[in-house]
Amino acid sequence: MASCKDIALELTESLDRKLPIRYRLRVWLHVAICKECRNLKRQILFIRAAIHKIGLSPASESNIPASLRMSTQFRNRLKETMIRYEADPDIHDH
Amino acid sequence: MVISITQEEMNPSKWVDEHGDYLYRFALLRLRNPSKAEDVVQETMLAALSGRQSFTGQSKVRTWLTGILKHKIMDQFRSVHREHRLNGLFNDDDTIDDLYDSREHLIPPAQAWSGNPEKAFEQGEFQEQLRLCLKKLPKRQATIFALREMDGISSEEICKELTLTSTNYWVLLHRSRVALRRCFEIHWFGLK
Ligand SMILES: [Zn+2]
């Protein structure tokens, strides 16, 4: 019987692409009787789904914390840089 | 009619206010370092200014800007990995040995989660937690996790871009997934 560690990389790989039947079977047989690996698999898939559902969907910008927004200083600096760049694109070549 | 973008939308002075926070957040979640995120956002805006003529109007301005940003981020990733390779062959995250005990079980054991975690988190809170969890990962693992789980880039593509062997890649991806879910387990579910 393969151990959790034995099938770990195959388990991860199986979440990304279809493994050859031999390995798929090995993972399947282990996961069928191992609660820990079932939990692990479920949780990896859960995090993936959560990232896509709530983590990366176009946010309503209002509830985004300040730590994830650009600072006012940077915002102003960026605008100034863009204006200067538009006036003279060459300045950034050196 | 192909062109659906108004001149107003293509006005660069609006880009920062309308897309700046989005682009910054996109970069920060992937690069994890505020000043690096600022750098790539600025590079993106300047590249967009230079390349304004090539914008066909077939996509949204935000999509166009994000496309440029993705390239800049990938450049960063490549240089990190190049550095890593030059600095030596052995890294402490090259195997999964230390993740498992002598009976080859994960440490700590993967316990069941309960409750309805999706409900418990506001979108902003979730993104912030994701940022904090990614920050704790070693650089290469964070890069791979972002490319695979956030951007959905194929494993083959990631190996090619970062010049990783497939074994090395699966090890790093596995480590990142185990660590990320553990971080959420502690900070989201309050499990020990
Ligand atoms: Zn197991």
B189 touching A (Cβ < 8 Å): no
Task: Name the residue range of residue A26's domain.
Answer: 4-88
Give the chain B residue whose CA is nearest to the CA of A54: B123
Q: Would you call B16 and A55 a contact, using CB atoms and an 8 Å cutoff?
A: no
Longest dimension (CA), chain B: 66
Q: Does residue A94 form part of some domain?
A: no
Kindly indicate the confidence band of residue B79, based on its pLDDT and cuts at 50, 70 and 90: confident
**Residue A60: per-residue pLDDT:** 61
**Residue B117: per-residue pLDDT:** 61
User: B54 or A45: which carries more pLDDT confidence?
Assistant: A45
Q: Does residue A55 form part of some domain?
A: yes
Q: Which of A44, A53, A64 sits opposite B124 (nearest CB)?
A: A64
Give the domains, in start order, of chain B with CATH numbers. 12-87 (1.10.1740), 96-189 (1.10.10.10)
Contact B15, A47 (CB under 8 A): no
- Assigned token pair, A70: 């650009």
Say which DSSP state A88 is in: -
Cis upstream peptide for B108 (omega within 30°)? yes
Kindly indicate the confidence band of residue A57, based on its pLDDT and cuts at 50, 70 and 90: low
User: B60 or A39: which carries more pLDDT confidence?
Assistant: A39
pLDDT above 50 (res B39): yes
- Residue (of B174, B173, B145, B118) closest to A49 by Cα position: B118
pLDDT above 70 (res A58): no
User: B93 alpha carbon to ligand 1 midpoint, in Å?
Assistant: 21
Contact A77, B45 (CB under 8 A): no
Kindly indicate the confidence band of residue B96, based on its pLDDT and cuts at 50, 70 and 90: very high
Give the chain A residue whose CA is nearest to the CA of B110: A36
**Residue B176: per-residue pLDDT:** 97
**Residue B2: per-residue pLDDT:** 45
User: B37 or B117: which carries more pLDDT confidence?
Assistant: B37
Q: Would you call A54 and B106 a contact, using CB atoms and an 8 Å cutoff?
A: no
**Residue A92: per-residue pLDDT:** 56
A23: left (phi over 0), alpha (psi -120 to 50) or beta: alpha
- Quote the minimal CA–CA distance from A41 to chain B in Å: 9
Give the chain A residue whose CA is nearest to the CA of B100: A5
- C-alpha to C-alpha distance for B44 and B40, rounded to whole angstroms: 6
**Residue A42: per-residue pLDDT:** 94
What single string gives the DSSP state of each residue in B85-106? HHT-S--TTSSSGGGB-TTS-B
- C-alpha to C-alpha distance for B44 and B137, rounded to whole angstroms: 26
Q: How far is CA B89 from the centre of its chain?
A: 24
Counting runs of H as helices and runs of E as strands, what totals does chain A give? 4, 0
Kindly indicate the confidence band of residue B57, based on its pLDDT and cuts at 50, 70 and 90: confident
Q: Which residue blocks in chain B are alpha helix, DSSP H?
A: 12-31, 34-50, 61-86, 117-120, 123-136, 139-145, 155-162, 166-187
% of chain B with per-residue pLDDT over 70: 88
User: B58 or B7: which carries more pLDDT confidence?
Assistant: B58
**ipTM for the predicted complex:** 0.87
Q: Which of B105, B117, B126 sits opposite A4 (nearest CB)?
A: B105
Q: Does residue A42 form part of some domain?
A: yes
The letter for the amino acid at B144 is I
pLDDT above 50 (res A70): yes
Q: Would you call A3 and B104 a contact, using CB atoms and an 8 Å cutoff?
A: yes
Tell me how crowded residue B135 is: count the other CB atoms within 10 A of its CB: 13
Contact B158, B147 (CB under 8 A): yes
Q: Does residue A77 form part of some domain?
A: yes
Q: Does residue A65 form part of some domain?
A: yes
Interval B123-167: pLDDT, tens = 788 889 999 999 999 988 999 999 999 999 999 999 999 989 999
- Assigned token pair, B89: 């062959």
For chain A, how many structural domains are there in total? Answer: 1
- Assigned token pair, B110: 């993967």
Instruction: Look up the pTM and report it.
Output: 0.87
Residues in chain B: 192
In whole numbers, what is the pLDDT of chain B averaged over residues?
A: 88
Q: Give the residue-averaged pLDDT of B112-128.
A: 76
- Assigned token pair, B18: 């309308």
Kindly indicate the confidence band of residue B1, based on its pLDDT and cuts at 50, 70 and 90: very low
Set of chain B residues whose Cβ sits within 8 Å of the Cβ of A55: 123, 126-127, 130, 150
B120 touching A (Cβ < 8 Å): no
